[in-house]
């Protein structure tokens, strides 16, 4: 008997993170395309023989820099909230600073 109501976490491509179409029967797919499979394979092999762990996140220097800058801005914004709170800022003021903080954190999270 087959059960169709089973809710399973949707599989995502192990290289690019895109959602994978349900493969139905058989082994679940790991990659959304042969290109992703190939790149993942190449990365694994380039990584071989170095001290870089297999599960390391590889990113471009540009991206790393963007994330560093973003984190710096985020910290400054967080300090602003803290300063405002310690100086007795109004709830409204704190709310708008927090909104800004959340916006920045979201942007950082989506940074690709
Ligand atoms: Zn992919």
CA of 29 to the centre of ligand 1 (A): 10
CA of 14 to the centre of ligand 1 (A): 7
Among positive and negative, which fits the CA dihedral 73, 75, 76, 77? Answer: positive
Is 4 among the domain residues?
A: no
pLDDT of residue 89: 95
- What's the pLDDT band for 63 if we cut at 50, 70, 90? confident
Is 40 among the domain residues?
A: yes
Structural domains of the chain, count: 2
Residue ranges making up the domain that contains 99: 61-110
> Where is average pLDDT lowest: 51-55, 57-61, 80-84?
51-55
**How many Cα atoms within 13 Å fall on the side-chain side of residue 28?**
12
CA dist 112 and 93 (Å) reads 31
In a shared domain, residues 77 and 50:
no
CA dist 109 and 53 (Å) reads 23
Encode pLDDT of 2-15 as tens digits.
444 444 567 788 88
Encode pLDDT of 66-111 as tens digits.
889 999 999 999 999 999 999 999 999 999 999 999 999 998 888 7
CA of 48 to the centre of ligand 1 (A): 22
């Amino acid at each position: 008997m087959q059960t169709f109501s089973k809710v399973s976490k949707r599989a995502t491509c192990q290289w690019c993170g895109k959602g994978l179409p349900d493969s139905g029967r058989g082994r679940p797919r790991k990659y959304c395309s042969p290109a992703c499979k190939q790149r993942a394979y190449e990365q694994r092999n380039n990584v071989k023989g170095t001290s870089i762990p297999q599960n390391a996140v590889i990113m471009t220097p540009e991206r790393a820099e963007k994330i560093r800058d973003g984190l710096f801005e985020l910290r400054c914004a967080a300090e602003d909230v803290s300063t405002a709170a310690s100086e007795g800022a109004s709830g409204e003021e704190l709310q708008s600073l927090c909104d800004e903080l959340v916006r920045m954190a979201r942007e950082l999270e989506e940074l690709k």
